[in-house]
Amino acid sequence: MSERLQQGDTAPAFTLPDADGNEVSLADHKGRKVIVYFYPAALTPGCTKQACDFTDNLAVLAQAGYDVIGVSPDKPEKLAKFREQEHLKVTLVGDPSKEVLAAYGAFGEKKLYGKTVTGVIRSTVIVDEEGKVERALYNVKATGHVAKIIKDLGI
């Protein structure tokens, strides 16, 4: 199981393809705060709700100085379909190798319907302007999570 990040850790660097196949790096956002959220799969009910919540609150988060990047193990083609179908504005990147998911502690053993399985752990890591972890939240709920982040950050 991968190690979970703690406040003050350096956020692992990454460069992953977005829905259009363009490379997106955490380093591209230096000087801004970034909410990096990890979700199991595009085009599934919970992940759709979460992505729509982030999209609906993107302007509020951007105004407060936050960029948002959603990471899943999906390939760019599936991410593009997800974005188009749900009219998403949030940046979605794919990590089919699951290396970035593991580096962030968002891949490993979890409980699913009472069984222990290995998979994506729905997580959110808030990275500050210097690339340090401000908050690391694991096993978050798809519904209501964005509202909780906004409240917790005082936005």
Active site residue 47: yes
User: Of 5, 42, 47, 142, which residue is the catalytic one?
Assistant: 47
Q: Give the β-pairing of 23-25 and 115-120.
A: unpaired
Q: Which residues are catalytic?
A: 47
